[in-house]
Chain A
Amino acid sequence: MIIDSHAHMGKGFYMDDPIQSNIPPERVLKMSREAGVDKTIVFPVNYPEYSGAMKEIHEAVLKYPNELIGYARVNPENEGALEVLTNAIENYHFKGLKLHPGNDKWKVNSPQTRKCLDRAQDYKIPVLFDPVVQLDDIFALTREYPTLNFIIAHMGGFYDWKTQTRCIALAEELPNVYLDTPFAFVHAMLKEGGKRIPKKILFGTDAPAIHASVEMDKIRSLKLGKTTEEDILGGNIARLLHL
Chain B
Amino acid sequence: MTHKVWDACAQMGTGDRNGDVLESAITVERILENMDAGGVARSVIYPVTWNRYVEKSSREIADAVKKHPGRFIGLARVNPTTQDGFSLLEKAVGWEGIAGIRLRPFHDNFSLSDPSVEKVFAMAEERKIPIAVDGEKNKDAFVALLKKHTKVPVILMHLGDFGNWVWQNGKAYMELLEKTPHFYMATCFEIIHFFLEEAIRRAPRQIVFGSDSPSLPPSMELKKIEVMHLPEEDFAAVVGGNLSRIFG
**What residues of chain A have their CB less than 8 Å away from a CB belonging to chain B?**
17-19, 31, 34, 158-159, 161, 183, 185-189, 208-211, 213-214, 217-218, 221
Contact = CB atoms under 8 A, between A and B. Distances in A.
The 4 A-B residue pairs whose C-beta atoms are closest, nearest first, are: A161-B21, A217-B223, A221-B217, A218-B220
A185 B224 contact: no
A158 B54 CA distance: 29
A188 B227 CA distance: 24
B214 interface: yes
Given A159-B215, A186-B22, A210-B193, A221 B227 contact: no
Given A214-B227, A217-B223, A159 B22 contact: yes
A211 B224 contact: yes
Interface in B155-203: 162-163, 165, 167, 189, 191-195
Contacts of B20: 161
A208 B220 contact: no
B144 interface: no
A18 B22 contact: no
A209 B167 contact: no
Given A186-B21, A186-B22, A188-B21, A221 B191 contact: no
Interface string B13-42: 000000011100000000000000100000
14 contacts: A18-B194, A161-B20, A161-B22, A185-B216, A187-B215, A187-B216, A209-B193, A210-B191, A210-B193, A211-B227, A214-B220, A217-B219, A221-B217, A221-B219
Contact of B193 (A186, A187, A211): A211
A213 B193 CA distance: 11
B227 A34 contact: yes
Given A18-B194, A209-B192, A188 B216 contact: no
Nearest to A188: B21
A213 to B, nearest CB: 5
Contacts of A17: 167
A31 to B, nearest CB: 8
B214 A214 contact: no
Nearest to B193: A211
A34 B226 CA distance: 12
Contacts of A187: 214-217
A185 B215 contact: yes
A151 B76 CA distance: 41
B102 to A, nearest CB: 18
A31 B194 CA distance: 12
A187 B21 CA distance: 10
